[in-house]
Structure 1
Amino acid sequence: MSSKDHKVHDEQASKQKESKKSLKSEAKEPAIETEQPVSSTEEVLIDPRITELEQQLLEAQKREREALLRAKAEVENIRRRTEQDVEKAHKFALERFANELLPVIDNLERAIELVDKEQAELIPMLEGLELTLKSFLATVGKYGIKVVAEKNVPFNPELHQAMTMIDSKEHEPNQVIDVMQKGYTLNGRLLRPAMVIVSKAK
């Protein structure tokens, strides 16, 4: 074999070795996995479910807030009604008892009117009756009882009971001219209307 043939043979052997090394190197390198893109079909299937769940969550939260607000409003209404009931009970707990006291006041006033003021010996009794009546009215006044006995005021059907109507040049129409029996209120609530004489309308 000539030197030229030897040279060609060596070159071929060298190329074969390099080719084998290259194959071995490629075999050793791990394969790089590429991420598979999510198909549009999967996205279409997932998104509506998420949207539906989010909508259900929002609706549930809204219902819960509304229920909480209703519960708070109901509690507030109950508290307010309870306070009003207690206040009314305090104001009008004495109503029946106060009505029983009115005849006593009437009798004291009649007794004072009937005393003969011309008799000196009756003056001490008269003063005692007047003092008793004054003290009695002051005591019941502390509990909200007030007298309705004003004259020359407009007739008020919520406070007055007209016993008769008369012509009067000195009074405006529908004015209280005289009081036949006093009326009374308890904390602004009528216990007994005042019996009055009223001027006629012209």
Structure 2
Amino acid sequence: MTDKHNNPHEEELKAEEVKAEEALENETIETIGDDGDIEWNESGETEGSLVAELEAALIASQAQVKEQQDSVLRAKAEVENMRRRSEQEIDKARKYALNKFAEELLPVIDNLERALQASDSEDEVVKSIIEGVEMTHKSFVDTVSKFGLEVINPEGEAFNPELHQAIGMQESAEHESNTVMIVMQKGYQLNGRVIRPAMVMVAK
């Protein structure tokens, strides 16, 4: 008759085998997900974040440098414009400082010319006086011309409204239309600026 109950010794061996298998499975699981793998993953994420921060900081620094360079260029341009404007203003002040003074001198020149026109150069009594007036007039005109004062005497020239002031128009067979026939009063300009237009009669 065979004994149906297992031998106690065999049951103990089977229990030990089961425990050994469970221990082996637990050891395999711990090896797959050990602390070294976790630390490596965390280290990789930290390095990636640091690189991104450095790249962002570099871009911000480059933008700031560009902005500062633009500011320097604008400042240089403003200084250059101010220097140019100052030079232009100084040049204008130098050129036209005599404007008012020249205007006051024009009647003196006019009077000398009227005296010469009204005098009789054939009269021996006043001939020497006329010569003196002519010398005075020439010296006067030469002196003021050194400072940029120029006469506008457009007889026979085309009428120019920027330089001439027409006091009337007259028919003439000897002159073309819109030509200055007679200069009633000479004009003057100082360094290219008209301080008195010539008063003229224009042909039509």
- Runs of at least 4 residues off by over 6 Å: none
Secondary structure of the structure 2 residue equivalent to 1:198? strand
Q: Residues of 2 paired with 1:53 and 1:169: CA distance?
A: 88
CA deviations 1:127-184 (Å, max 9, x no partner) are 1111110110000000000000121111111110001111222222211111000000
1:46 Cα offset (Å): 1.6
Query: Shift of residue 198 of structure 1?
Result: 0.9
Residue 109 of structure 1 deviates from its aligned partner by 0.6
Correspondence list, 1:115-154, <5 A: 115-154=119-158
Deviation at 1:38, TM superposition (A): 7.3
- Tell whether 2:171 aligns with 1:167: yes
1:97-152 deviations in whole A, cap 9, x for unaligned?
11000000001011111112332111111111111101100000000000001211
Unmatched 5+ residue regions in structure 1? 1-35
Please state whether the residue corresponding to 2:176 is helix, strand or coil. coil
Query: How many residues are paired up?
Result: 166
- Provide the rounded CA distance (Å) in 1 between the counterparts of 2:128 and 2:136: 12
Who is 2:93 aligned against? Answer: 89
User: Share of identical aligned residues, percent?
Assistant: 50
CA RMSD of aligned residues (A): 1.7
61, 67, 74: which one aligns with 1:70: 74
2:7 alignment partner in structure 1:
none
Alpha-carbon distance between aligned partners in 1 of 2:54 and 2:177, rounded to the nearest angstrom:
80
Aligned to 1:104: 108
Instruction: Name the counterpart of 1:56.
Output: 60
Counterpart for residue 185 of structure 1: 189
Residue identity in the other structure for 2:81: N
Report SS of the residue matched to 1:109: helix
Alignment-mate amino acid for residue 153 of structure 2: A
Deviation at 1:194, TM superposition (A): 0.2
Instruction: State how far apart, in whole Å, the 1-side matches of 2:177 and 2:51 are.
Output: 83
Q: Secondary structure at the match of 1:75?
A: helix
TM-score, normalised relative to structure 1: 0.78
SS in 2 for 1:90: helix
- Post-superposition shift, 1:45? 1.4
